[in-house]
Chain A
Amino acid sequence: MPFIPHTEEDIRAMLDRIGAESVEDLFDEIPADLRSPPLTGIPEGENEMGITRLMQERAAKDGMPSNFIGAGAYEHHIPAAVWQIATRGEFYSAYTPYQAEASQGTLQLIYEYQTMISRLTGMEVSNASLYDGASALAEAVLMAVRVNRRSKAKRVLLPGALHPDYRKVVRTLIGNQGIELVELPFDETTGQTPVDALAPYADEDVTAMVISQPNFFGILEDVDALTGWAEERGIPVIAVVNPVSLALLKPPGEWGTNGVDIVVGEGQPLGAPLSSGGPYFGFMTTLKKHIRQMPGRIVGRAEDADGKPGFVLTLQAREQHIRRSKATSNICTNQGLVVTAATIHMSMLGDEGLTRVAEACYANTHALVEKLAAKGIKPRFTGEYFHEVALDFGGNAASRVQTMADAGVLAGFELGRDYAQLDGCVLACATETKTESDLEQYVTTWEQAA
């Protein structure tokens, strides 16, 4: 029997020991009228050869188009060693490190991860990760409300230029907490969130403010000015950042005068494949003074009975399995395996590798824009951008994007889905994986799709 090791003799001997006639007897406490019908809707079992054939066919069916879509999930090269090591059975098939002595591998790795992500974001402490970037932002909003006890309004400012699906996830996850979410407009020319947009709230009770760098349109925000506005009023700032961009961009820990309070983001660009949207991981870093309000697991260094150093899960009194209804969040697991990959990925790239990746992304996207400009396609916004850009495709954008897809190029994310005023605009991203001929192919298919 697949994955069941029992022989006929084993079954007989075990039932004898239990004092049961048959395995069926072991279910005699389940009322007869509740018993399940036969599961006819599930196919008969496949062997490994059969399922391999089927999955290969399914995977091949979706083709391998040249992908220029970003919109929160980015195509990067992942060194071969990353997932080969991450999927070693000792990482892959272990569980949450409750027994610290038997989990030092996972615990030390998470401690190293916490160090790397804290350094990258310029913050003091990190947790062991959350589910993804969007849900990490929702947790950060809840955390900021706990941190800012002085504020009575429970009002949080969110930029309209923040990823629209992040805004939706925040609404879903904090919807029952009596928190008011206020959307800040963006400048339709530059694509930035102007400091002027904050004017109506200058003398209002604001609990926290979110800044996205780069924002959803790939545009670089004036983070010092925005953070400075909040600092003057004692409003905690939550930064949403792309970790790859931080090889080049000022880390949130240095924004404004003293830096932000909480940093979150999507960890996917650090070694997680696109994989249809998951599993990824959300990262969260903060200041040491806020650590007791931070959700999720945290690993700390400890000494054992012999005085030998090692690592344990720490500050567990914040968590659901101890505090139950008074926990900081209901979160239980983190995204351990993806964090394992990310830690190996960051170690493999180092400062030099990550900087080169970020520079190549920047260079390729800017090169694509130049090539398209020669054909009359302009960026929709005038602001500086990192590795993603809103291109004005004009009236027939939707059919053009589909025609390009059919020719093997995914041109980008159609902004009209979420922004009526940006109908006809396509958000495109050319990462380090793109070659000169990939960029040429984009331009050619665009022309042919006219």
Chain B
Amino acid sequence: MSTTDAYLIFERSRAGRSAVAQAPREHAATRIPANLQRKSAPGLPAASELDVVRHYTRLSQKNFSIDTEFYPLGSCTMKYNPRACNSLAMLPGFLNRHPHAPASHSQGFLQTMFELQEMLKEVTGMKDVSLAPMAGAQGEYTGVAMIRAYHDARGDTERREIIVPDAAHGTNPATAIMCGYEVREIPTDETGDVDIEALKAAVGPQTAGIMLTNPSTVGVFERRISEIAKIVHDAGGLLYYDGANLNAILGKVRPGDMGFDVIHMNLHKTFSTPHGGGGPGSGAVGVSERLLPFMPIPHVIEAEQGGYRFAEESDRPQSIGRLSAFAGNAGVLLRAYVYMRMLGREGMVRVSEFSTLNANYLARELAAAGFDLAYPKRRATHEFIVTLKKQAKERGLTAGDVAKRLLDHGYHAPTTYFPLLVPECLLVEPTETESKETLDGFVEAMACILAESENDMETIKSAPHTLPNRRFNEVAAAKALDVVFQPADEGDDSAPRTGTHG
């Protein structure tokens, strides 16, 4: 690539250039009082339409993505995002609908949302589903806030603790704290299940609930889930289900049947809405009977006079309240609806079956190629863990090294260093949409890296070699913080001197 590719859009700017075809005609100056007016132009780019299109098209080409590479990022479910989901969510009628349009002009949208709620209830076994949370982490917040509202409504206010396994996602303890709880961690046993004795010792009158992922973040199904549910319920606590791994069990087993009281789903994982470079997600939440009164608003219900409407505060006085200014990430929800309708009931089951088949096959092939599985005696679910503990000790080959070298082979890296309890781990999730040939190619690349580590560690340690950049000095970047472009450095003084550089 030529060096000009590194230029920022601001460095392509030329005073006097613009994409005026995009602007409305000029209007008379406003009568805004002088003391409230802006004195100098903000300093947005001055570029032609072609400049902008070319710049961002070139930038896009510097990304790995599902559409261009195998992306086995564990816990993230990077499956193919069907294009129809996008184009149908972007039909003009959906794009132009204002969130406060009257119910008379919203029946197409509301019916679609109602049916999505119904389908999600069916696959999870929950009593009702809220589409309001805008991301998985907000779904978690919603769930734990409902647990708190439930205890508070019963006058049961001494419950101060949320139990979280040590393998949990970082969002779990962070969420519990945001809801005003203390966090108690419990260990995982050597087979990957929750340590039941530790759980029994941890529960008590102070227990508000437990947050669990099943299959767990170590890639195995929590076999004693019914026993766990009984222990927590007997202590008066509720069970929260983190739906990060729902892809593994779709149509096979439902969180509602496992005894969970509240769950969140990541529609951008299981139901294939795009990850978009880090959002927007959607963290729909399902509840059991006892949490129904506390569900967030708005929520689509059947209207008394036929059709559908949003339930508001007056319909649900005990609601934990609103999570967004409007009704959640509606455009994401439309994509999930299209995906679920295209799959249908038989397609739901295929998701878990083929994601599980792919993971077990890939685990077996990697083991045969010389890699150690963290839990070799267990079935893989839709994902599994490879540990490089042995190779790191023998020759200094770390999970991070393998991740970087894989990029040179044209594969996005698996998740590294999560969960934290397995040393030098790679969490691998192939998903159901990848073919056997792709998996075989990945195994070949992994075997190649392992062989390379025996005679040419330097090449691995300095990887990647084929991408726009080599490894970064992240420590230096955090010290000499530069998060906003500063034109003074580049000799362009057309833009105002805001921003920082240190």
Contacts and interface: CB of A to CB of B under 8 A. Distances in A.
A42 interface: yes
B357 A352 contact: no
A420 interface: no
B296 to A, nearest CB: 7
A293 B134 CA distance: 22
Contacts of B20: 352-353
A97 to B, nearest CB: 7
B56 A344 contact: yes
Interface string A4-39: 111000110111011110010011111101111011
Interface in A396-450: 401-402, 405-406, 410, 413, 432
Chain A contact-residue range equals 35 or more
A406 B330 CA distance: 24
A332 interface: yes
Interface stretch (B233-241, B345-353, B387-395): B345-353
Most buried by A among B96, B125, B183, B474: B96
A176 B182 CA distance: 12
Contacts of A71: 100
Contacts of A62: 93-94, 97, 101, 105-109
Given A43-B341, A224-B35, A122 B498 contact: yes
Contact of A304 (B59, B471, B496): B471
A325 B183 contact: yes
B355 to A, nearest CB: 10
Interface string B89-102: 01111111111111
Interface stretch (A194-202, A229-237, A359-367): A359-367
A304 B472 contact: yes
A95 B73 contact: yes
A1 B350 contact: yes
Contacts of B488: none
Interface string A288-320: 100100000111111111101110101101011
B345 A17 contact: no
A150 interface: no
Contacts of A58: 93, 108-109, 111-112
Interface stretch (B171-179, B198-206, B284-292): B171-179
Chain B contact-residue range equals 35 or more
Interface stretch (A151-159, A167-175, A180-188, A374-382): A167-175
Contact of B280 (A36, A63, A279): A279
A85 B49 CA distance: 12
Contacts of A298: 483
Interface string B48-81: 0100110111011111111111010100101111
Contacts of A251: 38, 42
B71 A95 contact: yes
Contact of A277 (B57, B327, B349, B432): B327
Given A325-B173, A360-B27, A51 B220 contact: no
Interface in B201-249: 220-221, 223, 225-226, 249
A87 B39 CA distance: 36
A303 to B, nearest CB: 6
A332 B135 contact: yes
A98 B63 CA distance: 11
Contacts, number: 684
Given A41-B119, A42-B123, A177-B180, A350 B47 contact: yes
Contact of A45 (B19, B134, B327, B342): B342
A30 B249 contact: yes
A220 interface: yes
Contact of B100 (A11, A329, A350, A413): A413
A193 interface: no
B170 A321 contact: yes
A266 interface: yes
Contacts of A23: 353-354, 356-357
Contact of B45 (A11, A95, A305, A346): A346
Interface string A81-121: 10101011111111111111111111011011011101110
A114 B140 CA distance: 28
B278 interface: yes
Nearest to A298: B483
B217 to A, nearest CB: 12
B134 A405 contact: no
Given A119-B43, A128-B278, A34 B38 contact: no
Interface string B15-45: 0001110111111111111011111011111
Interface in B81-134: 81-82, 84, 86, 88, 90-102, 104-109, 111-112, 118-119, 121-123, 125, 134
A317 B350 CA distance: 39
B380 to A, nearest CB: 8
Contacts of A370: none
B30 A4 contact: no
B44 A346 contact: yes
B321 interface: yes
Contacts of B343: 2-3, 45
A100 B328 contact: no
Given A93-B67, A109-B56, A134 B24 contact: no
A406 to B, nearest CB: 7
Given A4-B350, A62-B93, A90 B60 contact: yes
A48 B342 contact: yes
Nearest to B123: A39
Interface in A310-346: 310, 312, 314-315, 317, 319-327, 329-338, 340, 343-344, 346
A59 B94 contact: yes
A173 B323 contact: yes
Given A43-B341, A85-B56, A405-B104, A99 B93 contact: no
B60 A105 contact: yes
A107 B174 CA distance: 25
Most buried by A among B49, B341, B352: B341
A303 B6 CA distance: 12
Contact of B26 (A4, A38, A125, A359): A359
B109 to A, nearest CB: 6
Nearest to A417: B312
A278 B278 contact: no
B460 interface: no
B53 A85 contact: yes
9 contacts: A31-B223, A39-B349, A65-B101, A90-B61, A99-B407, A129-B279, A172-B296, A326-B177, A405-B105
Given A73-B99, A172-B321, A305-B462, 19 more contacts: A36-B257, A46-B342, A69-B101, A77-B22, A81-B53, A93-B65, A94-B275, A99-B64, A112-B10, A118-B499, A246-B42, A300-B477, A302-B477, A314-B481, A334-B279, A337-B277, A353-B23, A355-B41, A363-B28
